[in-house]
């Protein structure tokens, strides 16, 4: 078609991946059009756990306060109760999402941002409003039908679903953020590995005031061993808090082999009542939807001028809450690169690093979520329950847990072990915070990175080794605390140096002039732009007072030099990582 519209980047999809990419590109001054085949943002809460790295993206966008105001805070998320129902016998509890005092410190040390519970139907408007108010053109009711790419750009055919009219959009690049049934992935023929359809779940969104059952043990999810909850899907009955304490999602499994269940409103109310364990509680059903558990990731996420992000390239169970978080971080990796290439400040090869850096993350998170999900059946096995226990078998198993006999002791120990094993599904702090990049946009030091001292899936590892995320520390300026994070980002490169770093000012000015890429220099230490009042920066920076860290716009360490002797190499380091 002849193009009726032109833009630098066309984004297909306005979910967490597309909306965050649009907000980022618009903030970087890149023109973009977002198309979404639906009339509006997500109409159900869907994803909700918003981890520290995703909150950092929102912070960099200036949206953290808005997001935190709409979210349920971490302190109300941590009591995960395992029971027969909300009103029923409690078997035990886990302290999740880093609310255990030991892990709370780990959480607070890893980022200036706090994890929170932000339902997708509240997150998406924040992102898409920011995108639109910063210049992105947002087109709802507009579906991508087809696209072709050539040496200079991409021509897409879209359909206006209101009028039925089709028209063309010409762009330099296209981002397929079109979710789990991605047309963009299909058209590109990008390879996906793994399994789709690993069990079905029913999500029932409802209103019910459950304050009296939860406010003394606040958590964002409550887990119920019940007959009928199904070994498929999540394999366990779940009540998920959407808004404390009167909006909820009931999650119930079903056997996909028997087809999609058709639930009436009465069926939905009955399930809600079973999960609550009290059928006198007034329940108002909002919606019922069906979703499948998938374990799939793409082994390639781009072709030419087209990139895929979000569920298009990684689909997995909700354990660990990685879906929308990873989708947002995909865009955070890609968008600054697009901005630099579009401005002619970087060579197009820089875009290839999106593949090298994000494909391993997709693989890791899909495997993590799958492994976590596979721990749920262990709860049933610990009680010697079959895959789909009937009510009688379930009641007998529950009674057996309370028996004052040696067999009872054995059952209690086995159940407790199985329950604690599931904690990794809510406490994989390292998976969330340690994403480590290896690509041509990270300048390898030659020497191998020393191994992390603790399990990298579980614990955050603060390091300034190139490819790592800038560690979090608090600095001060004018007696006020400032997060190191805030010295960097906003689409630009930052060079961090210490009190004896004068040589870096000159080196940065020169490199910026030669390459036409601004590099802001920030000095840290006594007598500098920022003070290292707590000594935390000095302890973690890994370079001398006259050394420097080069931080990418996405807060990843691109390069570092131990002393000012490295200053002469800044220009070539920068031109190398920009593929110039
Ligand atoms: P997402 O699917 O959110 O967005 C895709 C976008 O592309 C939509 O805006 C859609 O309209 C658009 N689109 C698709 N094709 C198009 C076309 N041809 N033209 C134009 N637009 C097109 N996760 C979790 O952690 N906890 C949970 O409880 C749940 N629950 C849940 C329930 C249900 C019912 C679903 C479907 C998913 C979940 N998830 C979840 C997963 C989570 O919602 C998911 O990981 C993120 O939404 C992924 O964000 P994306 O932006 O990649 O895709």
Encode pLDDT of 271-327 as tens digits. 999 999 999 999 999 999 988 889 999 999 999 999 999 999 999 999 999 999 999
Q: What is the CA radius of gyration of the chain?
A: 25
Closest CA to 54 of 322, 275, 296, 286: 322
Closest CA to 14 of 49, 38, 31: 38
Predicted confidence at residue 557, as pLDDT, reads 98
Please give the structure tokens belonging to residue 500.
Answer: 């004896």
| Cα of 541 from ligand 1 centre, angstroms | 38
| Cα of 328 from ligand 1 centre, angstroms | 12
Predicted confidence at residue 265, as pLDDT, reads 96
Contacts of 147-155 with C-beta under 8 Å, sequence gap 24+, read 147/174, 147/184, 147/187, 147/306, 149/174, 149/304, 149/305, 149/306, 153/305, 154/10, 154/305, 154/306, 155/1, 155/3
ipTM: 0.97
Query: Which among 11, 35, 36 is the best mutation to test ligand 1's pocket, defined by most ligand atoms within 8 Å of the CB?
Result: 36
Angle at 347 (CA atoms; ends 327, 2), nearest 5 degrees: 75
| Cα of 243 from ligand 1 centre, angstroms | 20
Residue 158, classified by CB atoms within 10 Å of its CB into exposed (0-12), middle (13-18) or buried (19+), is buried
User: CB neighbours (10 Å) of residue 25?
Assistant: 31
Which residues have C-beta atoms less than 6 Å from ligand 1? 12-18, 35-38, 46-48, 120, 143-144, 177-180, 183, 203, 289, 291, 310-311, 318, 321, 323-324, 327
Predicted confidence at residue 291, as pLDDT, reads 86
Please give the structure tokens belonging to residue 326.
Answer: 């990873």
DSSP 339-393: HHHHTTSS-GGGGGHHHHHHHHHHHHHHHHHHHHHTTTHHHHHHTT--SS--HHH
Predicted confidence at residue 234, as pLDDT, reads 61
Query: Which among 16, 17, 46, 287 is the best mutation to test ligand 1's pocket, defined by most ligand atoms within 8 Å of the CB?
Result: 46
Instruction: Give the chain's residues under pLDDT 70.
Output: 1-2, 230-235
Q: Report d(CA 294, CA 16) in Å as an integer.
A: 18
Query: Which atom of ligand 1 approaches the CA of 182 most closely?
Result: 15
Residue 417, classified by CB atoms within 10 Å of its CB into exposed (0-12), middle (13-18) or buried (19+), is exposed
Q: Give yes or no for a contact between 245 and 210, defined as CB atoms under 8 angstroms apart.
A: yes
Contacts of 29-32 with C-beta under 8 Å, sequence gap 24+, read 29/135, 29/339, 29/491, 30/335, 30/338, 30/339, 30/342, 31/7, 31/135, 31/136, 32/7, 32/8, 32/131, 32/136, 32/137
User: Which residue's CA is minimally distant from atom 52 of ligand 1?
Assistant: 310
Dihedral Cα 189, 193, 195, 197, nearest 10 deg: -30
| Burial profile 433-467: b = 16 or more Cβ within 10 angstroms, e = fewer | bbbbbebbbbbeeeeeeeebeeebbbbbbbbbbbb
Closest CA to 465 of 566, 363, 558: 558
- Please report how many Cα atoms fall inside a 13 Å half-sphere around the Cα of residue 38, on the Cβ side: 10
Predicted confidence at residue 199, as pLDDT, reads 76
Q: Give yes or no for a contact between 141 and 160, defined as CB atoms under 8 angstroms apart.
A: yes
Predicted confidence at residue 230, as pLDDT, reads 62
Q: Which domains does the chain have, with CATH numbers?
A: 3-47+119-193+296-364 (3.50.50.60), 75-116+197-293+375-427 (3.30.9.10), 436-577 (3.40.30.120)
């Amino acid at each position: 078609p002849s193009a009726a519209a032109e833009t630098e980047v066309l984004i297909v999809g306005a979910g967490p991946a597309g909306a965050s990419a649009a907000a980022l590109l618009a903030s970087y001054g890149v023109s973009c059009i977002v198309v979404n085949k639906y009339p509006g943002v997500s109409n159900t809460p869907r994803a909700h756990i918003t981890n520290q790295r995703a909150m950092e993206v929102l912070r960099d966008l200036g949206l953290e306060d808005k997001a935190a105001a709409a979210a349920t805070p971490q302190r109300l998320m941590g009591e995960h109760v395992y029971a027969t129902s909300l009103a029923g016998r409690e078997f035990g509890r886990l302290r999740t999402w880093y609310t255990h005092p030991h892990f709370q410190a780990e959480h607070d040390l890893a980022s200036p941002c706090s994890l929170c519970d932000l339902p997708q139907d509240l997150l998406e408007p924040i992102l898409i409003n920011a995108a639109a108010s910063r210049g992105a053109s947002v087109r709802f009711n507009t579906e991508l039908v087809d696209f072709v790419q050539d040496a200079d750009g991409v021509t897409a055919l879209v359909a206006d679903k209101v009028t039925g009219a089709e028209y063309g959009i010409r762009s330099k690049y296209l981002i397929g953020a079109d979710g789990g049934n991605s047309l963009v992935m299909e058209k590109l023929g990008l390879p996906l590995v793994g399994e789709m359809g690993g069990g079905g779940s029913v999500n029932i969104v409802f209103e019910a005031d459950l304050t009296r059952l939860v406010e003394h043990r606040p958590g964002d999810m409550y887990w119920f061993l019940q007959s009928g909850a199904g070994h498929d899907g999540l394999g366990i009955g779940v009540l998920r808090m959407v808004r404390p304490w009167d909006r909820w999602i009931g999650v119930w499994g079903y056997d996909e082999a028997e087809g999609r269940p058709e639930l009436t409103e009465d069926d939905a109310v009955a399930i809600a009542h079973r999960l609550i364990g009290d059928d006198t509680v007034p329940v108002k059903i909002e919606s019922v939807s069906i979703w499948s558990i998938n374990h799939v990731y793409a082994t390639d996420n781009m072709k030419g001028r087209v990139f895929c992000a979000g569920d298009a390239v990684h689909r997995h169970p909700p354990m660990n809450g990685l879906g929308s978080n990873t989708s947002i971080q995909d865009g955070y990796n890609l968008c600054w690169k697009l901005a630099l290439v579009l401005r002619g400040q970087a060579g197009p090869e820089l875009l290839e690093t999106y593949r090298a850096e994000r494909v391993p993350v997709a693989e890791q998170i899909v495997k993590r979520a799958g492994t976590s999900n596979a721990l749920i059946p262990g709860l049933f096995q610990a009680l010697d329950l079959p895959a789909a226990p009937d009510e009688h078998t379930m009641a007998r198993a529950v009674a057996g847990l309370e028996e004052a006999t040696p067999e009872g002791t054995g059952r209690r120990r086995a159940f407790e072990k199985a329950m604690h094993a599931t904690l990794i599904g809510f406490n994989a702090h390292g998976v969330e915070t340690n994403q480590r990049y290896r690509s041509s946009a990270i300048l390898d030091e030659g020497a191998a990175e020393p191994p992390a001292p603790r399990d990298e899936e579980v614990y955050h590892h603060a390091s300034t080794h190139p490819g790592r995320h800038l560690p979090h520390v608090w600095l001060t300026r004018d007696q006020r605390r400032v997060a190191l994070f805030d010295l960097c980002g906003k689409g630009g490169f930052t060079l961090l140096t210490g009190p004896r770093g004068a040589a870096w000012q000159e080196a940065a000015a020169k490199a910026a002039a030669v390459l036409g890429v601004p590099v802001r220099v920030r000095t840290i230490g006594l007598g500098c732009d920022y003070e290292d009042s707590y000594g935390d920066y000095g302890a973690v920076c890994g370079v001398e007072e006259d050394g420097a860290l080069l931080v990418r716009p996405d807060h990843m360490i691109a390069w570092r030099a131990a002393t000012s002797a490295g200053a002469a190499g800044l220009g070539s380091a920068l031109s190398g990582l920009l593929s110039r």
